Amino acid sequence: MREILDVVMSMYHDYNGTGMQMALFFACLIYLLVQKRDKEKRYVFLGYTLLFFVICFCPVTAKIIMEVCIEETVYWRMFWLLPSVIITAYTAVLVIMQTEEKKRRYLLLFVMLLVVGMTGSVVYNSTIFSRKQNDYKLPQDVVDICDIIEKDAAANGIDRKKLIVENSLVSFVRQYDAQILMPYGMETIRTGRTENENDAQIFRIMSSEDKDWEALAWYAAMENCNYLAYPPGKETAEALEACGYSVVGDNGAYTVYRRDAKDDDYENEWLITQYGGADGAPLTFYTIQDNKGHLIVIDGGRAEDVPYVRKQIKALGGHVDAWIVTHPHGEHAGAFMKIYQKPKKIQIDRVYAPEMKGAQVFSSEDPKGETNVYEQWRSMEIPELRELHAGDAFEIEGLGFQVFHAYDDLIREGSDDPVNDGALVFQVRADQESMLFCSDTGETVGDYLLETCGASLKSDYIQMPDHGNCVLKSDFYTQVGAKGAFFDAPVSMMQDMTGAYDNPQNVRTMISEGVKVYSFATTPNRVILK
């Protein structure tokens, strides 16, 4: 219920804006409450408003409305039912009519208009209105872009046209050509809310300064967006061409591209997304998805992160084909255990984790306070669980997994941190590319893997061991040869100047080798395994 209330309050905050108009509205309600005339109308206005707030803000009724009447993403439309304008106007007229002297009426009217003007915002300004460029009174760039698309679509027999364009032009496209669809509109630009996660990702990419064109092409294909208009540039053109886009026209200010996404364009390609914690704490949470709706979750973070994790999974469909828990520490398994016990609308088909049944996994004085997490994990009944060991290989919906390391006799006998060192180290492999997940393993495991696995460690991407806070031999990273390194760490660890963390040293090592670094500073971070 707390999640529902947070959603309602967030949407009310957006509706409230500066708060001045709502303050005026509440002032009018108080006036109607204390004045004695027109009791019937007063009861109607006050009763309706009170009933609205009870229904709209009560988590139980809000949940029912979201699930039965309208979706959660558009619950903000409920506030359209709030009679703020009607009550404010009625109260203003009532006050004026109760004033007998004509001059005082005019003075009151002037004061009221002044209050409304000061508590609102100016509609007629240069950010909204500009001198017309054509008879349509729309930006000429929009007219040109739409005409280019219509001409290309007619020439190639394309019936369905869906365009991604800069946010500054979004509000005008469908005014000129209603046949051209778009992944999001002005409401998304204003509030940041979209109908689904793919549209949300497209919006985030188009709103960022550094465009991730590869990820955009992925999400565009998921939403059948076959056209893209963007200002010309050599680097942009090369990047989009590499993603399968071709130029179909330009007007000097914008180049129009088309990408004919086919059902098999992303066959055996998987999108890996790294998420950061809501409060910047170190944790591990990844999703892996394909274009057929399959979803794999890795770890998921702490118990405190459940609302965030649940929201991301629901946005991706709510059906988890497989959930991999690398080891039973709070920042890795906490959210999973909470969600598994109370899945609500989340379906989990399979669970993978290392087999940890050692009698002395934790010392008697556990400095990390993780004993309870481990014991809770041991006590859970998980029929879908498959316990993994070093050397195991399996597939999930065509995506290959190779386990290089798990809790075994080596860890039982030789580690002072058996849960971390016993965490899964595994490789995820698509047709051509792969990613190595190292979880929280340390230097001992790094040396062991370098000795026993050798060339098999080679991967295109790597999740840094222990959130990037562990220094391994340079030979290890050379053997992996990754082009991208994921640090599951906040800025405080990545830029630590006290020497408490090894992240800065590892960042320098990666950058010196030409490896791209990903961290919580830019999450969600995405790469595509081809």
Residues 359 and 364: their CA atoms lie apart, in Å, by 12
Band of residue 418 on the pLDDT scale cut at 50, 70, 90 = confident
- Amino acid letter for position 404: F
pLDDT confidence of residue 119: 74
pLDDT confidence of residue 321: 97
**pLDDT of 5-25, one tens digit each?**
888 888 888 887 777 888 888
Could you give the 3-state DSSP secondary structure of residue 34? helix
Residues 497 and 503: their CA atoms lie apart, in Å, by 10
For 167, the token pair is 């946010």
- Amino acid letter for position 365: E
Q: How far does CA 459 lie from the centroid of its chain?
A: 26
Instruction: Print the SS3 string covering 438-458.
Output: CCCCCHHHHHHHHHHCHHHHC
Higher pLDDT, 326 or 223: 326
Rounded CA Rg of the chain: 28
Identify whether the C-beta of residue 283 lies closer than 8 Å to the C-beta of residue 275.
no
Residue 79: burial class (beta carbons within 10 Å; 0-12, 13-18, 19+)? middle
pLDDT confidence of residue 517: 96
Residues 467 and 484: their CA atoms lie apart, in Å, by 14
What's the predicted TM-score (pTM) here?
0.68
pLDDT confidence of residue 367: 47
pLDDT confidence of residue 365: 45
**pLDDT of 142-173, one tens digit each?**
999 999 999 999 999 999 999 999 999 999 99
Residues 442 and 440: their CA atoms lie apart, in Å, by 7
Residue 94: burial class (beta carbons within 10 Å; 0-12, 13-18, 19+)? middle
Let me know how many helices (H) and strands (E) the chain has, helices first. Answer: 21, 21
**pLDDT of 271-330, one tens digit each?**
999 998 766 678 899 999 998 889 999 999 999 999 999 988 988 889 999 999 999 888
Higher pLDDT, 43 or 237: 237
Residue corresponding to tokens 């492999």: 429
pLDDT confidence of residue 443: 86
The terminus-to-terminus CA distance of the chain in angstroms comes to: 40
Average pLDDT of span 35-58: 83
Residues 46-68 as b or e (16 or more Cβ within 10 Å = b): eeebeeeeeebebeeebbebbee
Report the 10 Å Cβ neighbour count for 271.
20
pLDDT confidence of residue 363: 47
Residues 281 and 395: their CA atoms lie apart, in Å, by 32
Residues 374 and 332: their CA atoms lie apart, in Å, by 11
For 156, the token pair is 């190639």
> Across the chain, what does the average pLDDT equal?
87
Report the 10 Å Cβ neighbour count for 452.
13
